[in-house]
Structure 1
């Protein structure tokens, strides 16, 4: 169980993912998707506590 995950912000985070800027789309497609960044896996717009992290490393 992840005590930091806030399900109340899930819809809000999804809206941000769907409304990304060109810069966010580019960095995500070219660098962060499919473990292209040194083999690390990242999540987009992750609700954590009362905040939404733009990019967080998957543990």
Structure 2
């Protein structure tokens, strides 16, 4: 799932809960800011392609990007 957020989502506990639920159900989550979609589209698309290609597969939390890879069954062992 790719989600484009505004600043009102910066510390929203509902988003955290939804992200965790999506991860447990085998879905990865990429969360970006709307301003980056408007001003840094090429870089953002490059990041999304890196996730799809498997080049970015580690949990990443930065100021301009949050990527939570899906949990695999092996993660729960």
**In terms of Rg, which structure is larger?**
2
Q: What TM bracket, shorter-length normalisation?
A: 0.3 to 0.5
Structure 2 length-normalised TM: 0.28
Greater share of residues in helix: 2
